[in-house]
């Protein structure tokens, strides 16, 4: 564990800790402690420094802990889904599991990190990944069929995310095609799938989930779209380890059900959660934009858009959908 992680683990309780105490515990000089504090602040961690008292966090942080996550998983499932890997920092949890999949890693592995240096979203976008407050989770699953049989899987995974958010008391969370979780038009979470397999199977799938749990104002200013977080909505702290465990369980239930029935098992749930269903939308594509009415999705998870008196189907790819202002 590096010095950043060590100091954050000490400060996680939200209490004051003197510079001398931190220096002694970490084997640093007082100036060395200050440099680590500055590094944490540059990563989005709000640390107060008060002369005569020391340092404390603006809010306590529950750091991710493998043993706590596993205990919570066991309380929800009769069988354990797979290995849980918790990292301090990595470029991308999706990339980590994609590399593991080529080494015949067991299906069911979950990777989490406190911070990502190169988190990715759809269409090559960067996923802003500040330290210690959010959920950056990726899972490896192996399906017997080929990639063509996995149409709609990202939508089904998004439903699992919303289920857990509902369980934590946010009942008005909804979905925007293909896999964004929204609250009042603000993005709360997103899903990114990476698929690799032969046409006849088997197929390795890495499901990446990013969820805003706590977003400091400085971080929100870096994001080019309206966003929100679980704690901003609830007005209280979230037990991240319990949240992650429930998310792992919900996602694995989705994979198991999808293996049996495909997206047809989830289509009605998607329609119920679609925040733009039967509303006018803008669909942005490389070849140009169209305006129409969102008529939901079909059995493949393709978006159904009505315009010029007809309904057309669109798969995700390089598409982006936006609701029109009423």
Per-residue pLDDT reduced to its tens digit, 288-300: 899 999 999 999 9
pLDDT digits (tens, 9 = 90+) for 162-184: 999 999 999 999 999 998 999 99
Q: Which of 199, 165, 157 is nearest to 183 (CA)?
A: 165
Distance CA 108, CA 11 (A): 33
Whole-angstrom distance, CA of residue 244 vs CA of residue 262: 24
Q: 276-323 — its CATH code?
A: 2.30.30.100
The domain spans of the chain are 3-57, 66-271, 276-323
Bridge-based pairing of strands 84-90 and 110-116 is parallel
The active-site residue, picked from 120, 176, 187, 240, is: 187
pLDDT tens digits along 231-285: 999 999 899 999 999 999 999 999 999 999 999 999 999 999 999 999 999 998 8
User: Which numeric CATH code is attached to 66-271?
Assistant: 3.30.930.10
Do the two domains 66-271 and 276-323 of this chain adopt the same fold? no
Residue 186 is among the residues annotated as catalytic for this protein: no
Instruction: Give the separation between CA 48 and CA 50, rounded to whole angstroms.
Output: 6
Q: Which among 56, 120, 122, 163 is annotated as catalytic?
A: 122
Residue with tokens 């029109």, as numbered in its chain: 324
Widest CA span in the chain: 73
The residue that leads in pLDDT, 220 or 245, is 245
Cα end-to-end distance, the chain, whole Å: 51
For residue 213, what are the CA distances in angstroms to 70, 129, 174, 234, 252?
20, 11, 16, 10, 21
Peptide bond into 307 cis (omega under 30): no
Whether 322 is catalytic: yes
Confidence band for 122, pLDDT divided at 50, 70 and 90: very low
Q: What digits encode the pLDDT tens for the residues 188-200?
A: 999 999 999 888 8
Is position 53 annotated as part of the catalytic site? no
What is the tens place of the pLDDT at every residue in 1-55? 688 889 999 999 999 999 999 999 999 999 999 999 998 888 878 899 999 899 9
Yes or no: domain 3-57 corresponds to CATH 1.10.10.10: yes
Predicted pLDDT of residue 213: 93
Of these residues, 35, 53, 71, 322, which one is catalytic? Answer: 322
């Amino acid at each position: 564990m590096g010095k950043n992680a060590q100091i954050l683990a000490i400060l996680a309780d939200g209490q004051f800790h003197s510079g001398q105490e931190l220096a002694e515990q970490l084997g640093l000089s007082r100036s060395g402690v200050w440099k680590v504090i500055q590094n944490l602040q540059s990563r989005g961690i709000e640390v107060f420094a008060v002369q005569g008292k020391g340092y404390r966090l603006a809010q306590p942080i529950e750091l991710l802990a493998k043993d706590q996550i596993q205990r919570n998983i066991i309380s929800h499932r009769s069988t354990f889904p797979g290995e849980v890997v918790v990292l301090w920092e990595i470029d991308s949890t999706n990339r980590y599991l994609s590399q593991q999949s080529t080494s015949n890693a067991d299906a069911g592995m979950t990777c989490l990190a406190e911070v990502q240096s190169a988190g990715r979203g759809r269409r090559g976008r960067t996923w802003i990944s500040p330290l210690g407050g959010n959920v950056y989770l990726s899972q490896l699953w192996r399906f017997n069929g080929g990639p063509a049989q996995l149409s709609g899987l990202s939508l089904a995974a998004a439903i699992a995310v919303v289920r857990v958010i509902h369980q934590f008391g946010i009942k008005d969370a909804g979905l925007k095609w293909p896999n964004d979780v929204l609250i009042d038009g603000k993005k709360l979470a997103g899903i990114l799938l990476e698929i690799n397999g032969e046409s006849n199977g088997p197929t390795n799938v890495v499901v990446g989930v990013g969820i805003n749990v706590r977003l400091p104002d400085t971080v929100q200013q870096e994001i080019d779209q309206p966003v929100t977080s679980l704690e901003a909505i609830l007005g209280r702290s979230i037990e991240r380890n319990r949240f992650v465990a429930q998310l792992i369980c919900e996602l694995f239930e989705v994979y198991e059900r999808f293996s049996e029935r495909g997206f047809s098992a989830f289509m009605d749930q998607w329609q119920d959660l679609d925040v733009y269903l039967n509303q006018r939308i803008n669909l942005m594509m490389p070849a140009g934009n169209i305006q129409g009415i969102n008529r939901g999705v079909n059995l493949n998870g393709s978006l159904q858009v009505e315009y010029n008196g007809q309904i057309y189907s669109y798969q995700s790819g390089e598409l982006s959908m936006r609701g029109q202002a009423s």
